Amino acid sequence: MNKQPIQKPIQSRFGAHTTAQEVIGDLSLKGKVAIVTGGYSGIGLVTTRVLASAGATVIVPVRSLEKGEAALNHIPNVEWMPMDLMEPDSIDAFAERFLASGRPLHLLILSAGVMATPLRRDRRGYESQFSTNHLGHFQLTARLWPALKQENGARVVSVSSRGHRLGGVDFDDPNFERKVYDKWKAYAQSKSANILFALELDRRGQTHGVRAFSVHPGLIPDTNLARDLREEEWGPRPILDNQGHSMTNEHHAEFKTVEQGAATSVWCAISPQLNGLGGVYCEDADIAEAVPGDSLRPDGVRPWAIDSEAASRLWRLTEEWIGIRFAAE
């Protein structure tokens, strides 16, 4: 069995203020093929633009062809195709179309997501944040697996959030069928799932040269992610104890631009500093530090998101929930 990845900073030369363009520098990605979900808005759009500017061919799944064209038609080396992460048939159609092209897939960046939405369910009855952020991306990666293996050196980047610290995956009731719906707990669950997915995918994919990473992009107010929030709800989320009392003060939390927010995704996708590494959670263009579950720090990754047994359990259950066996090993 592969060793548990070391969750410890490697002292990259980058930091919180680094932009995606600074990460990529003069690196040429000519001949590389990337897929970026959410690649037509926010940090996803910056990721698309930076990868394409370095010569990569970037394919962007879009829920709205009209919005996709408006955002992307001026960027060279970019293609877009319809896909909805909450519609399994749509995911399959996108993947089949890409596989039919015969191209390898060098970079898969799972950047699309929703945050703190009102209770919604997909047609299968699954809670929308879990469906969009985790289940849809799991299915997409499973369907694209032949193209990822074809490259023998591909990377998968799962965009998570420091919001994972608000709670892990509730394996007994992930869809809030028995407990009262809490939009922040649902968001945290989906973001913890993103980290666990990258951990298990990396373990299973190493023999095929596929490495996976999860990232926290930063607190970025200038995106559509907060479209379901009231103005007073936008901002850092406090950690609460069992009595509901705040355990930390984040009034001085630092926000990032979208260009800075895309930096860690791009770093995980292309940095030679990560050669031979994988399965780690990253922030500020470096590997993040593992911290205790009761830590008052806003940064770092919590134990429930890097638990290898939980990652393996989530993988098996996800296969059951979506009816797809992901034979990554």
Q: Bin 294: left if φ > 0, else alpha if -120 < ψ < 50, else beta.
A: alpha
Strand pairing report for 33-37 and 57-62: parallel
| CA distance linking residue 32 with residue 34, whole number of Å | 7
Q: CA 304, 134, 177, 246 torsion: positive or negative?
A: positive
Bridge-based pairing of strands 155-159 and 107-110 is parallel
Helix (H) or strand (E) holding 79: strand 78-82
Q: Structure tokens of 178? A: 């028995």
d(CA 292, CA 300): 9
CA separation (Å) from 43 to 36, 50, 190, 204? 10, 11, 19, 28
Strand pairing report for 281-283 and 211-216: parallel
Query: Position 300: which residue type?
Result: G
Task: State yes or no: is 281 an active-site residue.
Answer: no
Q: Taking the alpha carbons of 178, 181, 187, 188 in that order, is the dihedral positive or negative?
A: negative
Give the C-alpha separation, 125 to 117, whole Å: 15
State how beta strands 107-110 and 57-62 pair: unpaired
Among 40, 126, 181, 187, the one annotated catalytic? 187
Report CA dihedral (208, 211, 212, 215) to the nearest 10 degrees: -170
User: What letter would DSSP give residue 34?
Assistant: E
Whether the CB-CB separation of 147 and 98 falls below 8 Å is answered with yes
Tokens of 122: 């997909």
Which residues form the catalytic set?
187
